[in-house]
Amino acid sequence: MKILSLSAFLLSLKLSLVGVVFSLHISKKAEREINKVFEIDNATFVQTLDQDIPGIDKDRLYTIFDQGNALGFAYVGEASSQTDTFEYLVVFDTNFAVKKAKVLVYREDYGSEIGSKRWLKQFLDKTPNDRFAYRQNIAAISGATISVKSMTNAMNNLMISLASWQNNGKPNKS
């Protein structure tokens, strides 16, 4: 369990009063990546949703704060590989443009090339209005076809869900 600073505690208390639950379900690996993206030392993560929305579990989307200022969002997802699943992270700015996509845990012997920075950079700067198509705007990887298609579908589903959520209003707004 992580020990919270007084400011993080006060922030979590303040946010919980408006219906948002403070959460620390971000893995250490994801936390390090998020801190690198925003060039900070110790981000605070707050569960963004107070209920599941179509395509997004409330326990997977977080708002990222530093010293009380919202910096962006992080989504931790899971997608299928050939015989198992892999975990991935998508970091967004406050407008939901992708700042980073990263495969956190890949459990197969083959197909791990989808974790390369070179392949994942295809998702950078994309927004919920963008769509991805295998072999059209997303490159194929020999030996990783299932994982590539799975990550492409996962990113499409996430972007479609975020677009729908934005168009229909954020559930946490008062």
pLDDT: is 172 or 139 the higher one? 139
**SS3 of 98, please?**
strand
Closest among 84, 48, 80 to 154, alpha carbons compared? 80
Contact between residue 47 and residue 58 where contact means Cβ atoms under 8 Å apart: yes
pTM score of the predicted model? 0.83
Instruction: Give tens-digit pLDDT for 103-137.
Output: 999 999 988 999 999 999 999 999 999 999 999 99
The residues, ordered by sequence, that sit 6+ positions from 85 with a Cβ below 8 Å of its Cβ are 78, 79, 107
pLDDT in tens, 42-100: 999 999 998 998 889 999 999 999 999 999 999 999 999 999 999 999 999 999 999 99
Task: Name the strands in the sheet holding 85-93, side by side, starting at the edge strand that comes first in the sequence.
Answer: 44-47, 61-66, 69-80, 85-93, 98-106
* Nearest C-alpha neighbor of 136 from the set 124, 148, 154: 148
**Residue-wise pLDDT tens digits, 10-54:** 344 344 333 333 334 688 999 999 999 999 999 999 999 989 988
